Amino acid sequence: MTKELFKGSILFGPVPAVLVTTINREGQANIFTVGWTGVACSHPPLVTIAVRKERLSYENIRATGEFVINLTTGKMLKMTDFCGCRSGRKVDKIKHFGLELEPGVDVAVPSLKISPVALECRVRSVTELGSHDLFIAEIVRNKVDASLIDKDGRIRLGEAGLLAYCHGEYFALGRRPLATFGHSVAKKAVRQARQQKKNQDRKGKKESF
């Protein structure tokens, strides 16, 4: 595979396109889009978001030490893009889209009811990097839409149609996975059992319609 050379830049993806909710000291909520986010650690569960200092929500997070990551879907495409292009200093984006908020459980920050999954986060540290500051935060509570939880209590996140961002474009993830984690080293019997379970789940869904 022949490759051409370019100067160093953020040529990376796909990444989740998430809507982050914050509040100021008076309790007023704001939402903004974050593309630079990721997992930092499993135990404890830590995530990162990179935020420009000029953002209104940057001030909110520094003031309260809390925020909520709301995962987005293809149905949330327009608001996800809009909230990354408009400042909360000029537009009340929650009012603009008529969004319904749900109160926080372990943080004071609300989440978006329309979002299938909300991660309540508490800031652990802030690192100044350049154009963005990096917030490392602990996930203190997960809120998951009941429709994504199967009869065995497992979370089927792949069924949500989550939104991803890749080099200036948005994509909705497909509902059918290519494989499961560990499939390359799993024994043949284990792989067959997993595939059989998937086929049964799909058959059950079709029959329920």
- Which tens digits make up the pLDDT trace of 28-48? 999 999 999 999 999 999 999
**Residues lower than pLDDT 70 in the chain:** 187-191, 193-195, 197-209
pLDDT number for residue 6: 94
Query: How high is the pLDDT of residue 153?
Result: 94
The full set of domain ranges for the chain reads: 15-169, 179-208
The contacts of residue 147 (CB under 8 Å, 6+ apart) are 116, 159
| pLDDT score for 176 | 76
Tell me if the domain spanning 15-169 has CATH number 3.40.30.10.
no
Q: Give the pLDDT confidence score for residue 209 in this predicted structure.
A: 44
Report which of 56, 43, 66 is spatially closest to residue 126, judged by C-alpha positions: 66
Task: Return the number of other C-beta atoms located less than 10 Å from residue 173's C-beta.
Answer: 17
